[in-house]
């Protein structure tokens, strides 16, 4: 917090929403713990220190919503820091307490690094555990949650059950799938689950191909295999080929199937393990002890049919599907990996003596001065100290045009410097940088559950038991009414039902789309905190917006100087800027910056004094210079009645008007305003075209607020509201049946952001606002809301498509596998074809979800 001057320097037309003067200050500069990022919506209490920063140095100001005072504000800011720190600590502790109740699956520790990261299931985010393993609900491999740091413990989780988390690889105790690292790394790390499944697939394929060839060749009219070896010897050859497949290659399926029973969470591996084991064991018994089977099991020639080739082919095809699925799923984090991969690896630090050295990025500390040469990547978040350049920020904002950076401007790590050289100071490093926070938010959102997922969960919970029941019914029906050999037909069709009905595609339908959508959003500067926000965003009917920093730039700018007759504009501006040069209030700085922009040299001043509630005066270059309100002019004996009408016109346009006097004469009007962002008008028009009602809530004066609202065509303007009143207004709109999104950037917006159905924070605002919101617009541009709504609509459409594919596939596949077409067309679905179709169904769902990556926003 910059120390404020102690002199009283008051100006008129002070806005009531004093807390917003501190919007540009990041009140919470230090997070208590990264775990706070995982806490659901927080609702910070509006503190008196936030809303009560009305200081005695009042400047008229439109937009920044603060009174201009140079009384010490440090004590109040310390209160704000303390309140936020306490709140974050409390939230952090609450998170740890909640985490203590999560399911943690312990298994043997294997290695370091990734094996200690928190892992979760992409289909069941409630499953979390440290280290990789399988989801106990669906059996999918758990995936890393968060950012992988090589020095820290890595956690493993189930992609379908994120509540399963462990510190080492393993299987999910709910669904049996291999756990996956929870974090996303910049470099391409080998996925241990993919490596294992690939090995098992190629091994099984090498044995399954000759196994199938033996059976298929002997179906030719000449029966070439039977001429070479006896039928019994052929059976032993099939046994030799099928046993390694069904025992070693299929072993993970059996383990997951057993666990699904242990945890009472039947899943796709329950069906696979049951189908493969029955086919293999039946064939082993039929080969070794054929005499125990009655005539109903025997075909032509009185021999019992063997199904080694079916069991082997099923395993190979399911492994193929697992490999394709794992490869496809790995593409969902491509956007984040691309961002991480573009981060700088080193930084050039400037020592105290002026010498420079190149250091690894992880050695950069807050406060370090860094040199960024033309064409280099900006290493960390910070502020420009010297130099001018244009910086390409497209990788974090999605905007293609470079942004000009001068002294005092903020820069973001991983963005690319243009042709100019910059000297910057590091302000945020490591996990505190915007890029790291983006990755954390997106990774967390990818693991969250959309409400629509509940439909798939409910269906899946009943689906597997139902399929097992259908398989039993299929066996009974074929055993009683099927053609000879009845038992052979009954067995093979029952197995086909088990294999083709695997609900993997159903489980993947929602999480895959969510994972791709959050990555896509991050690439264009729209960060979703959770899946629920993605689902809700498209349904929003009313958008509530803050004014300062959301609709406007959030900092006052000198709009115009209207000198009185006999005064030169440049000379007058130089005098007044010299009067205000020592002030750090945004309005004073606006005047000083206005003079600097016009390259006006500031002069020395002396004898500064202020008159409470009226204005300030001093001697500048031998002249008595004053700036203040009409009361100040009256105190000095300066007549302003002739200019009052013009002042009112300017106020009606949303400008703050100050009166200047030089040597006891009226010298002119100084007009300061918080300019509306260039993109705001376009965004409001587009939102209206989509049928949204736009409401502006601000603590600023009614005159200024209505002027801004009128210029933008906003439907309703509510001025002079405090933070708790903003939240109350949002709640009132919700009670009227509106689905409300709230967009804001300041501490005072946090309660309303938490209350809204969807809270939208400006990335240019405070940390507290971003932590309270569901969506963050990195660039702070309202057009990002349009991108968010479009992404929401397309994602939900994609999820519905996936669910349709999964439901239709299972609805059609199970009856065909059961043999309903056989009486009419003589069509049966073999277990091998069922396994192939089941694998393709999962891949088709993932491929459909990956189409979102190519969406234009």
367 within 8 A of 426, measured Cβ to Cβ: yes
Distance CA 450, CA 509 (A): 11
Tokens for 104, please give them. Answer: 């943690």
Q: Which long-range contacts (CB under 8 A, 24 or more apart) does 469-472 make?
A: 470/497, 470/501, 470/814, 470/818, 471/495, 471/497, 471/498
What number of other Cβ atoms are within 10 A of residue 41's Cβ? 15
Closest CA to 543 of 759, 694, 746: 694
Sheet of 389-392: strand order equals: 403-405, 389-392, 416-417
Determine which one of 368, 381, 546, 674 is catalytic. Answer: 546
Listed in sequence order, the residues at least 6 apart from 797 whose beta carbon sits closer than 8 Å to its beta carbon are none
Is residue 523 within 8 A of residue 398, CB to CB? The reply is yes
Q: Is 546 a catalytic residue?
A: yes
Distance CA 80, CA 142 (A): 40
Residues with Cβ < 8 Å from 814, sequence gap 6 or more? 467, 470, 497, 500, 501
Helix (H) or strand (E) holding 775: strand 775-777
Encoded tokens for 296: 């109903």
Cβ-proximal residues to 355 (8 Å cutoff; 6+ apart), any chain: none
Q: For residue 527, what are the β-bridge partners? A: 776
Helix (H, G, I), strand (E, B) or coil at 708: helix
Cα torsion 315, 504, 811, 512 to 10°: value is -140
Structure tokens belonging to residue 361 = 């990025």
Map tokens 């039947």 to a residue: 266
Exposure letters 64-81 (e unless 16+ CB within 10 A, then b): bbbbbbbbebeebbeebb
CA 22 to chain CA centroid, nearest Å: 27
Provide the 10 A C-beta neighbour count for residue 473: 13
Q: For residues 339 and 430, what is the distance between their CA atoms, to the nearest angstrom?
A: 15
Instruction: Strand 346-350: give its sheet, edge to edge.
Output: 356-360, 346-350, 369-372, 422-428, 381-386, 410-411
State how far the Cα of 208 lies from the Cα of 419, in Å rounded to an integer: 60
Q: Residue 512 has which token pair?
A: 């895959």
User: 739: burial class by Cβ within 10 Å (0-12, 13-18, 19+)?
Assistant: middle
- How far is residue 149's CA from residue 147's CA, in Å, rounded to a whole number? 6
**Residues 122 and 111: beta-carbon distance below 8 Å:** no
Which residues are known to be catalytic? Answer: 546
């Amino acid at each position: 917090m910059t120390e404020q001057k102690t002199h009283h320097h008051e100006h008129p037309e002070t806005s009531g929403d004093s807390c917003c003067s501190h919007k540009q200050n990041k009140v919470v500069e230090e997070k208590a713990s990264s775990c706070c990022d995982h806490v659901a919506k927080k609702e910070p209490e509006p503190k008196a220190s936030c809303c009560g920063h009305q200081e005695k140095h009042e400047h008229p100001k439109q937009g920044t919503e603060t009174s201009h005072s140079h009384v010490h504000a440090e004590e109040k800011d310390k209160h704000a820091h303390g309140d936020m720190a306490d709140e974050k600590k409390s939230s952090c502790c609450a998170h740890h307490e909640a985490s203590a109740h999560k399911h943690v699956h312990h298994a043997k520790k294997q290695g370091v690094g990734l094996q200690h990261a928190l892992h979760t299931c992409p289909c069941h985010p409630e499953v979390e555990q440290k280290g990789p393993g399988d989801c106990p609900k669906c059996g999918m491999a758990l995936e890393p949650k968060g950012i992988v740091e090589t020095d820290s413990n890595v956690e493993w989780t189930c992609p379908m059950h994120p509540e399963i988390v462990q510190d080492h690889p393993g299987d999910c105790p709910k669904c049996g799938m291999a756990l996956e690292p929870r974090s996303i790394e910049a470099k391409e790390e080998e996925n241990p689950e993919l490596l294992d499944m690939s090995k098992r697939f190629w091994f099984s394929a090498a044995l399954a191909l000759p196994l199938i060839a033996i059976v298929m060749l002997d179906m030719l009219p000449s029966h070439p295999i039977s001429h070479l070896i006896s039928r019994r010897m052929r059976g032993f050859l099939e046994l030799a080929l099928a046993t390694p497949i069904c025992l070693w290659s299929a072993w993970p399926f059996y383990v997951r199937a057993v666990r699904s029973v242990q945890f009472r969470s039947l899943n796709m591996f329950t069906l696979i393990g049951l189908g493969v084991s029955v086919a293999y064991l039946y064939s082993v018994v039929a080969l070794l002890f054929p005499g125990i089977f009655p005539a109903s099991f025997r075909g032509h020639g009185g021999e019992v049919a063997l199904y080694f080739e079916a069991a082997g082919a099923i395993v190979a095809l399911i492994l193929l599907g697992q490999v394709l699925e794992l490869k496809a799923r790995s593409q969902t984090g491509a956007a984040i990996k691309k961002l991480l991969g573009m981060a700088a690896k080193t930084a050039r630090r400037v020592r105290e003596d002026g010498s420079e050295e190149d250091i690894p990025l992880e050695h950069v500390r807050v406060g370090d001065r860094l040199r960024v040469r033309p064409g280099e990547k900006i290493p960390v978040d910070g502020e420009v100290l010297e130099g001018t350049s244009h910086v390409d920020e497209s990788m974090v904002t999605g905007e293609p045009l470079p942004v000009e950076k001068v002294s005092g401007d903020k820069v973001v790590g991983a963005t690319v410097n243009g042709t100019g050289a910059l000297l910057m100071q590091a302000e945020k490093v490591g996990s505190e940088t915007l890029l790291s926070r983006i990755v954390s938010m997106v990774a967390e959102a990818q693991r969250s559950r959309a409400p629509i997922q509940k439909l798939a969960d409910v269906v899946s919970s009943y689906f597997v038991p139902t399929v097992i029941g259908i398989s039993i019914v299929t066996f009974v029906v074929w055993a009683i009414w099927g053609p000879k050999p009845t038992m052979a037909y009954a067995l093979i069709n029952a197995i086909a039902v088990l294999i083709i009905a695997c609900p993997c595609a159903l489980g993947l339908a929602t999480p895959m789309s969510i994972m791709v959508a959050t990555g896509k959003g991050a690439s264009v500067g729209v960060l979703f905190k959770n899946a629920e926000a993605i689902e809700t965003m498209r349904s929003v009917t009313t958008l509530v917006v803050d004014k300062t920093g959301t609709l406007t730039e959030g900092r006052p700018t000198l709009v115009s100087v209207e000198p009185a007759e006999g005064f030169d504009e440049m000379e007058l501006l130089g005098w007044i800027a010299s009067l205000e040069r020592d002030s750090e209030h945004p309005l004073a700085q606006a005047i000083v910056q206005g003079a600097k922009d016009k390259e006006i040299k500031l002069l020395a001043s002396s004898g500064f004094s202020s008159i409470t509630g009226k204005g300030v005066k001093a001697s500048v270059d031998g002249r008595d210079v004053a700036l203040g309100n009409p009361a100040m002019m009256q105190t000095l004996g300066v007549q302003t009645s002739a200019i009052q009408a013009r002042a009112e016109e300017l106020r009606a346009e949303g400008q703050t008007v100050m009166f200047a006097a030089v040597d006891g004469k009226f010298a002119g009007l100084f007009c300061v305003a918080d300019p509306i962002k260039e993109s705001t008008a376009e965004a409001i028009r587009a939102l209206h075209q989509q049928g949204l009602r736009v409401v502006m809530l601000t603590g600023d004066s009614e005159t200024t607020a209505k002027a801004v609202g009128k210029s933008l065509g906003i439907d309703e303007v509510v001025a002079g509201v405090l933070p708790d009143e903003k939240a109350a207004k949002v709640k009132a709109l919700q009670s009227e049946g509106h689905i409300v999104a709230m967009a804001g950037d300041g501490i005072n917006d946090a309660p309303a952001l938490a209350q809204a159905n969807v809270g939208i924070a400006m990335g240019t605002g405070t940390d507290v606002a971003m932590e309270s919101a569901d969506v963050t617009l990195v660039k702070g541009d309202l057009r990002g809301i349009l991108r968010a709504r479009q992404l929401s609509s397309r994602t939900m459409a994609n999820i519905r498509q996936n669910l349709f594919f999964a439901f239709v596939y299972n609805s059609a596949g199970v009856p065909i596998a059961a043999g309903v077409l056989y009486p009419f067309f003589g069509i049966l679905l073999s277990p091998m074809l069922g396994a192939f179709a089941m694998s393709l169904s999962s891949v088709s769902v993932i491929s459909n979800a990956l189409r979102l990556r190519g969406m234009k926003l």
